[in-house]
Amino acid sequence: MTANRRQWLAYGGASAVAACAGLALWRHREQPQSGVSAAGEVPDALWSLRLPRPGGGELALAALRGKPTLVNFWATWCPPCVEEMPLLDRFHRENTANGWHVVGIAVDRAEPVDKFLARLPVGFPIGIAGAQALSLVKALGNDSGGLPFTLVLDSGGAVRDRRMGKVEPADLQAWQRAVVHG
């Protein structure tokens, strides 16, 4: 076999591996994950959370039960989490009057969260959960524990959707229509 032919076979093999990985990622994002069905009940572990807030006070998620709520798990060390923060803040500002709530749960330590919010303040409440939030994320259907992870809850307390990865404007528009009109 010539060196040129071996090189072409290597390129072809690498292309096939990349295509398979892309297909696996697409299937993972399109199929419901274990833990909570796409329209399922939220575990009591979420509603019972009482988390310290940056600057003091406490975030009690039970106060949001029965209200359309977007719950975003994020961290300061996660680039897509940081990128989506202004978008989530804008959604919060534009939809609070319509009954929506946005909550950020930081899978992080208090000090980096405080520094981050000093640079990029947001209007929605943030709770600091630390690394133990990863077990809750998994119980909510994110088997990989990756961030960012967003849950959309309707006024009945059911999970309407989940997003592993960065939220896009089209996601927010679809969730707003589905929860308000669904």
Q: In angstroms, rounded to a whole number, what is the distance separating the alpha carbons of residues 169 and 182?
A: 19
CATH superfamily of 38-181: Glutaredoxin (3.40.30.10)
For residue 28, pLDDT beyond 50: no
Tens-place pLDDT, residues 95-122: 999 999 999 999 999 999 999 999 999 9
Question: Would you kindly state where each structural domain of the chain is located, as residue ranges?
Answer: 1-31, 38-181
Tell me which residue of 55, 106, 54 sits closest to 82, measured CA to CA.
106
The whole-number pLDDT of residue 137 equals: 95
Q: In angstroms, rounded to a whole number, what is the distance separating the alpha carbons of residues 38 and 81?
A: 22
List of residues 6+ apart from 91 with CB closer than 8 A? 70, 100, 102, 172, 176
* Residue 43's pLDDT band (cuts 50, 70, 90): confident
Tens-place pLDDT, residues 134-173: 999 999 999 999 999 999 999 988 999 999 999 999 999 9
